[in-house]
Amino acid sequence: MLASILMACASLAATASAECSRAMLKDATDQYVAAQSNGHRSEITALASNLTYTENEKPVDITKGVLVQPLKLDHNRSIHDTTECATFTELIVATSDHQYVIGTRMLFTDSKITTIESIVTDKGDWAFNATGYLYWDSMENWDPIPEAKRDTRAVIKAAGDAYFDRFDNASVVVPFGTPCARLEGGAYTGRANSTENTCNLGLPSTIKVTNPRYVVDEEMGVVDIFLGFPGLDRSQGQDPMPDSHVFRVEGGKIRYIHTVSSCVNAGCGLNGTGPPSSL
């Protein structure tokens, strides 16, 4: 009996692995990028009939959202999580009249996309400057991690968790590497000093983020965390704002952080006193 149960479990695990292969997830992100580039959602062939589609945490008719706008993509990068059957894609539109930086998370069940949630940022969002985002991203190395040097899923996720734990407790030790740089909307902490850890600059100590959702890719050494960021838009009090933080982890240490954060009102209620958006 025990042998039969073990064989059944092994069979189920093998089936789940086959249904959520890296190749399948990569095909889906490739289709998503093509669909956004051309403005044709039909290029995504694996949409589930019960698809949930949101932009900035609000339900949107997929036929009327940003996905049906053809965008000239100057950069895209995707990560693929075969454990949770999820993906994250970063898009930069910097050389068009209407600039965007978009972070998109997709969830899968039985090889079908059941959820697409995008954080769509443009002028007026937190530190927004797509030109700067593209420039500083181009100066970084996000190549796959050599297999012998890859961190475990737990280590990568823990690095991101420690960063947000520090938001509510200044005594938390975050595994920042040296160097480490944070890119927020287009503003770069490593602009004046590229050889030191500048990821620790300007961190809050009284903020509890809400509803974290993870995509982890061991091959890339990356975890993306979608969450609610209370107080980000000062015009909204402590209401959580849609936010994505992407962490590149190398040897257990955070090397890069990319953030995409949406506000309700242009300028995030800061009246020009927020982080700089220029290079």
Whether 210 and 117 share a structural domain: no
Domain containing 248 equals 144-269
**Hey, what amino acid is at 215?**
V
Ramachandran bin of 236, using left for φ above 0, alpha for ψ from -120 to 50, beta for the remaining angles: alpha
Q: How much is the average pLDDT of 80-98?
A: 99
Q: What is the distance between the alpha carbons of residues 159 and 138, in angstroms, rounded to a whole number?
A: 23
Q: Among 69, 78, 1, which residue's Cα sits nearest to residue 36?
A: 69
- Contact yes or no for 270/235 (Cβ under 8 A): no
Tokens 């704002």 belong to residue: 241
For residue 277, the model assigns a pLDDT of 54
Q: In what order do the strands lie in the sheet with 86-93?
A: 58-59, 47-55, 112-121, 100-109, 86-93, 75-81
Q: Which among 131, 156, 176 is the end of a domain?
A: 131
Name the residue with tokens 């061991």: 218
DSSP code of 191?
S
Question: Does 3 map to a domain?
Answer: no
* pTM of the complete model beyond 0.85: yes
pLDDT at 270: 85
Q: Do 180 and 203 contact (CB within 8 A), yes or no?
A: no
Q: Is residue 113 part of a domain?
A: yes
Q: pLDDT tens digit string along 19-68?
A: 899 999 999 999 999 999 999 999 999 999 999 999 999 999 999 999 99
Give the count of domains, the chain: 2
The mean pLDDT of the chain is 93
Distance of alpha carbon 237 from alpha carbon 234, whole angstroms: 5
Model pLDDT for residues 124-181, shown as the tens digit of each residue = 999 999 999 999 999 999 999 999 999 999 999 999 999 999 999 999 999 999 999 9
In this structure, the answer to whether residues 264 and 163 fall within a common structural domain is: yes
How large is the greatest C-alpha to C-alpha distance in the chain, in angstroms? 69
Of the residues 83, 108, 131, which one is the last residue of a structural domain?
Answer: 131
